[in-house]
């Protein structure tokens, strides 16, 4: 059987792939060696700008199957009947570290799901925690700068991390999550995923509900202690990637059960705290979990760069029956995520295989830009409306409209009766067992004791005291003991 011929990118056969063309035996190389120049030029451009956040990631394909009837709450087609399956791609990631970072670190995990529905792609972009550090997107660049490498020292600095948190009391809840037992998952398979934000569902009658997503792992929650995480990160920095890849390859397909919490839209204004505040959870006693379906991952990508690194998620990719809420952080991300992908991958990134619709066809008037393929054909028009049978609007909104009133300006979120930054952090602490509390205190103190400024330490201790007096006292004592050593 004859072997296939190696060619250049233009399709010309390559005569010699071992030796560059030179001016005589042992002479200098020639500029005319097209094959050499093409290989080197492509090699120089193999890397694209990495994500500023969520750079370190893994992913897999699978499906989502509806198990329960929820048509009374949304008319989204992919959720329209029990048994209906939709292909998905799920990307896991750490948040703060770079592409070369280790998997087993104390950091939130991204949990981004792309549903390839018959009405277009729906991107649900969340984390493995139900809350986040801040509630307004204006703070996001500053927050990330404080958690990333310092511009002078080139490393993450406890002074920066804790100084920002000292000025962001709303972070206390997420800090308690992060420094607790679930701060380092044992693998991507053994953690939950959350939509985190509040979204909106609309049913066929036009009734609106606000919704929170909970993907509960069917493998069970497993986490690593600080010591176990350090050991694993040193032995195999790719531990989570290795685990996911090998599990799927041997036929052990991880799965999650999707539950939602649903709040009738009319209840939001008078709820006891702001239901659109990303730093808070909705108590299950107020809004019980309602099962929706099962997500299964059963196929690894063939090429990590093409399908994981180039996977692009944007929470503004909605489908009919699903839309946004007034959640400020979500509103900021509706722009920021899509714009990040346009910067990293180019304006035509939605045509890449992992990002393109699979159950339908994209039809619009976008043209040109880098890597434009122009699949519309030579006679297709690039404007609308037109008289040439081009695609037209439906006239039907994807979701119910959001009511607005008042004056434009920079407003703080409206206050509800129990809006404060600490009570849910205190509730979380009091839910923990004695051993869980001890590990939380040790993790917090081990990090906070490294801060050089006493005033920054005291501001953060005040947050823990406000959440729960015992919580604050124990962290203060542990920090004091470490600083006296």
Kindly report whether the peptide bond that precedes residue 336 is cis, defined as omega within 30 degrees of 0: no
SS3 37: helix
Question: What mean pLDDT value characterizes the chain?
Answer: 93
- Yes or no: say if 311 and 317 are a contact pair by the CB < 8 Å rule: no
pLDDT for 371: 81
Rounded Cα distance between 48 and 346, Å, is 10
Identify any residues that bridge with 290 across adjacent strands, giving them in sequence order.
Answer: 260
Looking at residues 41-68, what average pLDDT do you find? 93
In which band, very low, low, confident or very high, does the pLDDT at 177 lie, cut at 50, 70 and 90?
A: very high
In which band, very low, low, confident or very high, does the pLDDT at 238 lie, cut at 50, 70 and 90?
A: very high
Q: How many CB atoms lie within 10 A of CB 442?
A: 17
Rounded Cα distance between 454 and 441, Å, is 18
Tell me how long the chain is: 485
Least confidently predicted of 69-78, 180-189, 404-413: 404-413
pLDDT for 415: 78
Looking at residues 336-361, what average pLDDT do you find? 92
62 vs 24, higher pLDDT: 62
Report the interhelical angle of 172-179 vs 454-467 (nearest 10°).
90
pLDDT for 343: 93
- Yes or no: say if 267 and 416 are a contact pair by the CB < 8 Å rule: no
- Going by C-alpha positions, the residue among 344, 304, 360 that lies closest to residue 60 is 304
H or E stretch at 58: strand 57-66
The answer, yes or no, to whether residue 86 has pLDDT greater than 80, is: yes
Phi, psi dihedrals of residue 116, rounded to the nearest 5°: -85, 80
- Yes or no: say if 323 and 400 are a contact pair by the CB < 8 Å rule: yes
For the chain, the C-alpha Rg in angstroms (whole number) is: 25
H or E stretch at 217: strand 208-217
Identify any residues that bridge with 86 across adjacent strands, giving them in sequence order.
Answer: 64
In which band, very low, low, confident or very high, does the pLDDT at 193 lie, cut at 50, 70 and 90?
A: very high
- Yes or no: say if 120 and 309 are a contact pair by the CB < 8 Å rule: no
pLDDT for 362: 87
Looking at residues 140-166, what average pLDDT do you find? 95
Residues 31-46 pLDDT 10s: 999 998 888 888 888 8
The answer, yes or no, to whether residue 414 has pLDDT greater than 80, is: no
Scored b (16 or more CB within 10 A) or e, 85-94 reads ebbbbbbbbb
pLDDT for 384: 84
41 vs 315, higher pLDDT: 315
- What tokens appear for 167 in the block? 């000025």
- Yes or no: say if 289 and 307 are a contact pair by the CB < 8 Å rule: no
- Going by C-alpha positions, the residue among 339, 385, 353, 423 that lies closest to residue 169 is 423
In which band, very low, low, confident or very high, does the pLDDT at 368 lie, cut at 50, 70 and 90?
A: confident
Identify any residues that bridge with 202 across adjacent strands, giving them in sequence order.
Answer: 208
Phi, psi dihedrals of residue 34, rounded to the nearest 5°: -60, -40
Instruction: List residues with catalytic annotation.
Output: 54, 127
CA–chain centroid gap for 287, Å, is 24
As a dihedral over the C-alpha atoms of residue 295, residue 298, residue 302, residue 305, rounded to 10 degrees, the angle is 30
Residues 431-468 pLDDT 10s: 999 999 999 999 999 999 999 999 999 999 999 999 99
- What tokens appear for 54 in the block? 């969520």
Residues 249-300 pLDDT 10s: 999 999 999 999 999 999 999 999 999 999 999 999 999 999 999 999 999 9
Phi, psi dihedrals of residue 6, rounded to the nearest 5°: -70, 135
- Yes or no: say if 211 and 76 are a contact pair by the CB < 8 Å rule: no
Looking at residues 7-36, what average pLDDT do you find? 90
Kindly write down the DSSP assignment for every residue of 316-364, as one continuous string. T---TTEE--S-HHHHHHHHHHHHHHHHHH-TTGGGSTTTS-SSS----
């Amino acid at each position: 059987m004859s072997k296939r011929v190696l060619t250049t990118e233009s399709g010309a056969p390559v005569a010699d792939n071992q030796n560059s063309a030179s001016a005589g035996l042992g002479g200098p190389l020639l500029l005319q060696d097209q094959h050499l120049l093409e290989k080197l030029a492509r090699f120089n451009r193999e890397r694209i700008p990495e994500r500023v956040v969520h750079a370190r990631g893994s992913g897999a394909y699978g499906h989502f199957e509806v198990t329960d009837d929820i048509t009374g709450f949304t008319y989204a087609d992919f959720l329209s009947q029990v048994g209906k399956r939709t292909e998905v791609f799920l990307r896991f990631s750490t948040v703060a570290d770079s592409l070369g970072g280790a998997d087993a670190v104390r950091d939130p995990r991204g949990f981004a799901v792309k549903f390839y529905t018959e009405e277009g792609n729906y991107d649900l972009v969340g984390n493995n925690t139900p809350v986040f550090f801040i509630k307004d997107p204006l703070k996001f660049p500053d927050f990330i700068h404080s958690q990333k490498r310092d511009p002078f020292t080139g490393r993450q600095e406890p002074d920066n991390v804790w100084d920002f948190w000292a000025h962001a009391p709303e972070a206390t809840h997420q800090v308690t999550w992060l420094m607790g037992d679930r701060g380092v998952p044992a693998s991507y398979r053994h953690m939950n995923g959350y939509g985190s934000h509040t979204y909106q569902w609309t049913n066929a009658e036009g009734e609106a509900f606000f919704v929170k997503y909970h993907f509960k792992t069917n493998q069970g929650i497993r986490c690593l202690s600080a010591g176990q995480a350090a050991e694993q990160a040193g032995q195999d920095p790719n531990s989570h990637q290795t685990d996911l890849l090998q599990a799927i390859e041997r036929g052990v397909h991880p799965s999650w059960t999707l539950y939602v919490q649903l709040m009738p839209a009319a209840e939001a204004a008078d709820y006891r705290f702001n239901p659109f505040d990303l730093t808070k959870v909705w108590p299950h006693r107020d809004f019980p979990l309602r099962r929706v379906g099962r997500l299964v991952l059963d196929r690894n990508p063939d090429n990590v760069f093409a399908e994981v690194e180039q996977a692009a998620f944007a929470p503004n990719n909605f489908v009919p029956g699903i839309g946004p809420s007034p959640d400020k952080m979500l509103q900021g991300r509706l722009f920021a995520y899509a714009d990040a992908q346009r910067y990293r991958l180019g304006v035509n990134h939605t045509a890449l295989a992992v990002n393109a619709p699979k159950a339908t066809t994209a039809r619009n008037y976008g043209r040109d830009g880098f890597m434009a393929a122009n699949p519309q054909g030579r006679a297709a028009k690039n404007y609308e409306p037109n008289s040439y049978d081009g695609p037209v609007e439906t006239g039907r909104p994807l979701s119910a409209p959001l009511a607005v009133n008042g004056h434009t300006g920079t407003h703080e979120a409206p206050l509800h009766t129990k809006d404060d930054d600490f009570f849910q952090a205190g509730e979380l602490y009091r839910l923990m067992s004695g051993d869980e509390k001890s590990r939380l205190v040790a993790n917090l103190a081990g990090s906070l004791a490294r801060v050089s400024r006493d005033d920054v330490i005291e501001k953060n201790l005040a947050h823990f005291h406000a959440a729960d007096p015992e919580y604050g006292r124990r962290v203060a004592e542990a920090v004091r003991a470490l600083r006296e050593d």
